[in-house]
Structure 1
Amino acid sequence: MDTATSSAATVRQIADLPCPKGLPLIGNLHQLTPSKLHLILERWANELGAPYRFQIGGKPIVVWTDVELCQTLSRERPHRYRRFRVLESVLQEIGSNGLFSAEGAAWEPQRRLVMQALSIPHIKAVYPTIAGITGRLHERWRRAAANGETVEMTKDLKRYTVDVTSALAFGEDPRTIEKDSGVIQEHLALILPLVTARINAPFAYWRYVKLPRDRRADRALVEVHRYVRRMMQRARERMRDEPSDEPRHLLEAMLAMRDAPDSGITDDQVAANVLTLLLAGEDTTANSIAWALYYVATDSALQQRLADQSRAVLGSANVCPDYAQVKDLELLEAVCTEASRLRPVAAVSSFEPLQDVQLTDVHVPAGTTMFFVNRPSMLDERHFAQPQTFDPDRWLRARDAQTGAHDTRAYLQFGAGPRVCPGRHLAGVEMRLVLSMLLANFRIELAVEPESIEEITAFTMVPSAMPMRVSLRT
């Protein structure tokens, strides 16, 4: 048995942990609303302390908020721990069991491919393409400002991130920003909420009866997989007609590996990684920027400060003209980081031990589902000074200039250990580019009352809406 931390005098069993009051047979199932899951888990942690357990039927799920323990388990994946097993099963069914959920020996070769595609040199090489896509987003918002239209920021940002991810990883730009309907993002938007509903379901009901949401998502999956296979076919044709000594992007690298003798890689596995990247690129970065805009739109002084820094770097351009200048937009990314501390897009992490373990003073059998709720540690004054205050400058001050606690290990929005998110640098570039373009050229204000915007669990934690009015700066 592995011991993650020093053992206590008395070892508790999972049944000894506090548990919210439930009902016979179903446990706490009736209290779990999938769209509010992270809020329910946070509330129970506040009421019961952590760790605690809740029950789905006879199955216990253990919930922790200990960031040091989460760091330890993250470092020991995939050898001693794995993600929630049901997640892999659900993603396998929809054809998206790629790098995000891959375990064991299947993970490392996929990781190398994706890290190469999302490396700093590769992003620098395709920066003109990313800047061009950002320019098209500027044009979309300029038209909205001229016509007095309200912009649903989350939808537009997802279009943007789909275009960037596709151009960077697959050598294709679907140009969804320029279209009002019939875009791949409309289909992608249905998939992660479906995954959330299915991993939280008490049994695999969809194998026997399809609800309306299942039928809608199934139709979306058909379109998405058709889109992915078309990209793969076009990439093969370019590799045949325009051969290159080195793969030009991730998709070519994956296809070349798949075609190598005895590779053991199938077209289905390549397609799963393409879909994984589309979903990850479309969802997490877009929602992180959207939550940042929530705070910027309600703070006129901060908005002006960001506009001034953006214009100083951009000069007369609408978009940051050179990759080297992106580093000067650090306040823009700090705003997104601080927004994610208060509104974590990755609100819950999941693990299962591959062997019996002792975590603190709790015996956890192999295969036990464990959830780590990430926000409590980021709102703990032991980790961050004045934790309830939105203060992006805390991410810019030198350690010796901090006015209180600032423990960056408690910030887990990109994960930790060997499974840390390979797209974190790309996300930072997108955050800086989009916010600097927006705030150098436009003023923004929420089109609804701030308190009407709710947090929704849709695999990631997303805003219920982010409608804004944009007006041109003079």
Structure 2
Amino acid sequence: MADLQLDNEEISRTVADLPCPPGLPLLGNLFQLAPAKFHLTLEQWAKQLGSPFRVQLGTIPMTVWTQADLFQTVMRERPHRYRRFAPIESVMAELGGNGLFSAEGAAWEPQRRLVMHALSFSNIKAFYPTLAAITERLYVHLQHAAAGNRSLEMTDELKRYTVDVTSALAFGEDPHTIEQERGVIQEQLAAIMPALQRRVTALFPYWRYVTLPRDRRLNQAMVEVHRYVQKMIERARERMREFPGEPPRNLLEAMLAGRDEPHSTITDEQISANVLTLLVAGEDTTANAIAWALMYLAADVDLQDRLFEHSRQALGQSAVCPDYDALRHLDLCEAVCNEALRLRPVAAVQTFEPLTDVCLGGVALPAGTRMLFLTRPAMLDPHHFAHPDAFDPDRWKHPRAPSEGAHEQRAYLTFGAGPRVCPGRYLAGVEMRLIVSMLVAHFRIELTIDPAEIKEVSAFTMVPARMPVRLRFRT
């Protein structure tokens, strides 16, 4: 373990020395880690065993960590010293989606540049009129539901919205899923994240040899998704042929133009994979973040009223925030979502493995050691956030007085850190401000079930099992 000598940290333990919850012979903790409760089980063991600890999936040890400073260290040293779990890349490649999220090494950097440009501040600002128009379509849809006194499964509604936004921004295609009841691409995309969770944590890639009913459903969904992706690519090429010489108008056109350049390293497979990656990422994370925020808003009528006044100042007589500059007045709307993500992190578990032998937190980690970082414990630590169990959007206001207590921004791990920080964080912030301000400006938000009945589910990301909401018109 020669690389360990490069660390300035003294080795005090090996992986085998770490505490481990009792398990079964040969199988270890495999049957204690139910996929749907994966993050909750690990968080409970972290409370009992401290950090880091070890779990055994058969003969495979997995180290589990909660320290925010160590998370930041690993994220800063990606992609050269750490990577995501190797199974993530192989599973996504099998699904035809080994794009920016899962790509490693030399394949990552050119894709990163393209995606970061597409999701840059200036591009999102230029895209704002389309984004506002899609939000207004959602408003009309919600009006009809409120007039009919219908309960809405808001996670599904928000995913339709985010699919439309992501498709329009990155690919120049608006699929109009908001207005459709059935047969939308979002239904097929919903199968991918749970499948990724199952396959990444599996001891053996059984699906390569035996096809279970859930694998057949996934295969059928992937056929539809790839058909949709290819249609978008074909239409983008048609537009480019129609207007030769014009600069690319979106991420897909930029990737296609890059693919056609001499000596290009971008492949057709990477283009297709990044279309799929952005659809999945754009559809899932932001929608679930806003859904969790609605749960807290529904429980606090006073906060809804305060947000109504806050939002009306920015919206004026418009149905949605009228222009990009007015968004800056909607800090409280984004703060509500930030606070919901602190308490209900969509990225509850982050996975890594070292590319070389390393020492982290005094623990010797051979190359390839699987590492799970739990993001919520650091965000519920009173040393990082004052009154950490309270839902308090005001903790995100700036500037903060020292008397207001701890607020350690580096312990807020929702969007990652370092070179591979989430490229969609700016877009997510804009969507949060738009959606929350639109909702509270026109409706009162009510849950139709007890919040205690809303369970957290691990499906690669952490999602609400349900979020049934009824919207009442404000009078």
- State whether TM-score is above 0.5: yes
1:276 aligns with 2:277: yes
List alignment gaps of at least 5 residues for structure 1: none
List alignment gaps of at least 5 residues for structure 2: none
User: Displacement of 1:265 after TM fit?
Assistant: 2.3
Contact 1:99 1:276 in 2 (8 A): yes
Equivalence map 1:169-208=2 (5 Å):
169-208=170-209
For the structure 1 residues 204 and 22, does the alpha-carbon distance in structure 2 shift closer, same or farther, using more than 3 Å as the test?
same
AA of the residue aligned to 2:428: A
SS in 1 for 2:372: strand
SS in 2 for 1:345: coil
Contact 2:4 2:364 in 1 (8 A): no
Contact 1:5 1:360 in 2 (8 A): no
1:261-287 superposed Cα distances (whole Å, 9 cap, x missing partner): 221322111000000000000000000
User: Displacement of 1:6 after TM fit?
Assistant: 4.9
User: 2 CA distance for matches of 1:412 and 1:5?
Assistant: 24
AA of the residue aligned to 1:47: Q
Equivalence map 1:237-252=2 (5 Å):
237-252=238-253
Q: Name the structure 1 match of 2:39.
A: 38
User: 2 CA distance for matches of 1:372 and 1:299?
Assistant: 32
Contact 2:114 2:254 in 1 (8 A): yes
User: Displacement of 1:11 after TM fit?
Assistant: 2.1
Q: Name the structure 2 match of 1:112.
A: 113
User: How many residues of Structure 1 are paired with residues of Structure 2 in the alignment?
Assistant: 473
1:16-38 superposed Cα distances (whole Å, 9 cap, x missing partner): 10000011111110111111110
Contact 1:4 1:69 in 2 (8 A): no
Q: Name the structure 2 match of 1:375.
A: 376
Q: Name the structure 1 match of 2:470.
A: 469
Q: Name the structure 1 match of 2:123.
A: 122
For the structure 1 residues 109 and 442, does the alpha-carbon distance in structure 2 shift closer, same or farther, using more than 3 Å as the test?
same
AA of the residue aligned to 1:318: A
1:326-377 superposed Cα distances (whole Å, 9 cap, x missing partner): 1110000000000000000010111111111111221100010000011000
For the structure 1 residues 211 and 293, does the alpha-carbon distance in structure 2 shift closer, same or farther, using more than 3 Å as the test?
same
User: 2 CA distance for matches of 1:133 and 1:249?
Assistant: 17
Contact 1:4 1:360 in 2 (8 A): no
SS in 2 for 1:468: strand
User: 1 CA distance for matches of 2:309 and 2:231?
Assistant: 44
User: Displacement of 1:104 after TM fit?
Assistant: 1.1
User: Displacement of 1:217 after TM fit?
Assistant: 1.1
Q: Name the structure 2 match of 1:302.
A: 303
1:423-472 superposed Cα distances (whole Å, 9 cap, x missing partner): 10000000000010111001110011110000000111000010001011
1:155 aligns with 2:156: yes
AA of the residue aligned to 1:314: L
User: 1 CA distance for matches of 2:82 and 2:160?
Assistant: 35
Q: Name the structure 2 match of 1:453.
A: 454
For the structure 1 residues 267 and 298, does the alpha-carbon distance in structure 2 shift closer, same or farther, using more than 3 Å as the test?
same
SS in 2 for 1:457: strand
User: 2 CA distance for matches of 1:152 and 1:21?
Assistant: 39
Q: Name the structure 2 match of 1:52.
A: 53
For the structure 1 residues 187 and 3, does the alpha-carbon distance in structure 2 shift closer, same or farther, using more than 3 Å as the test?
farther
User: 2 CA distance for matches of 1:201 and 1:403?
Assistant: 45
User: Displacement of 1:401 after TM fit?
Assistant: 4.8
User: Displacement of 1:7 after TM fit?
Assistant: 2.6
1:143 aligns with 2:158: no
- Provide the identity percentage: 63
Q: Name the structure 1 match of 2:417.
A: 416
AA of the residue aligned to 2:37: K
Contact 1:394 1:402 in 2 (8 A): no
Q: Name the structure 2 match of 1:344.
A: 345
For the structure 1 residues 68 and 5, does the alpha-carbon distance in structure 2 shift closer, same or farther, using more than 3 Å as the test?
farther
User: 1 CA distance for matches of 2:212 and 2:85?
Assistant: 24
Contact 1:6 1:360 in 2 (8 A): no
Contact 2:347 2:462 in 1 (8 A): yes
SS in 1 for 2:347: coil
User: 2 CA distance for matches of 1:87 and 1:190?
Assistant: 16
SS in 2 for 1:367: coil
Q: Name the structure 2 match of 1:360.
A: 361
User: Displacement of 1:5 after TM fit?
Assistant: 7.0
1:7 aligns with 2:9: yes
Q: What TM-score do the two structures reach when normalised by structure 1?
A: 0.98
User: Displacement of 1:399 after TM fit?
Assistant: 3.2
Contact 1:4 1:72 in 2 (8 A): no
1:303-332 superposed Cα distances (whole Å, 9 cap, x missing partner): 111111111110111100111001110000
User: 2 CA distance for matches of 1:32 and 1:368?
Assistant: 19
AA of the residue aligned to 1:465: R
1:394-429 superposed Cα distances (whole Å, 9 cap, x missing partner): 000423355111000001111100000111000000
Q: Name the structure 2 match of 1:311.
A: 312
SS in 2 for 1:178: coil
